[in-house]
Amino acid sequence: MKTVMIVDDALFMRKTIKKMFERAGYEVVAEAENGKEALDKYMTKKPDVITMDIAMPVMDGLLSLKEILKIDETANVLMVSAIGQEELVGEALACGAKGFIVKPFTEELLMSAVDQLF
């Protein structure tokens, strides 16, 4: 079973994404509400997939992405952005994110994006 870590500062968004992954047969092994927490949890959980919000307090998704990729350059990070963050998405892809989805999104769109990681 593939494992997932969900990183988003909004609790309702983490819960929504978690339900989508669980229905698709993934195991959610960690959740984080900011990039720093994500970095700490990545070290111990090593999930197969990370969904990473861009705009978060403490450490944003871009910095967290860069730090995770320093630890594991093969990490599968899928950026989650709000409309209007296209410039940041481009930077994230240039830094090594494997893909992105824009909020709001459907379960089908999320799973399609995740399937393209493997």
Instruction: Give the DSSP letter string of the chain.
Output: --EEEEE-S-HHHHHHHHHHHHHTT-EEEEEESSHHHHHHHHHHH--SEEEEESS-SSS-HHHHHHHHHHH-TT--EEEEEETT-HHHHHHHHHHT--EEEEES--HHHHHHHHHTT-
What CA–CA distance (Å, rounded) separates 4 from 2?
A: 7
User: What pLDDT shows up at residue 35?
Assistant: 97
Burial of 58 (0-12, 13-18, 19+ CB in 10 A): middle
The encoded tokens of residue 54 equal 């861009």
pTM of the model: 0.96
Report the pLDDT value the prediction gives residue 89, as an integer from 0 to 100: 85
Model confidence at 82: pLDDT above 90: no
Q: How confident is the model at residue 86 (pLDDT cuts 50, 70, 90)?
A: confident
Instruction: Give the pLDDT confidence of 12-62 residue by residue, as tens digits.
Output: 999 999 999 999 999 999 999 999 999 999 999 999 999 999 999 999 999
Domain ranges of the chain: 3-115
C-alpha–C-alpha distance, residues 113 and 94, integer Å: 17
CATH code, 3-115: 3.40.50.2300
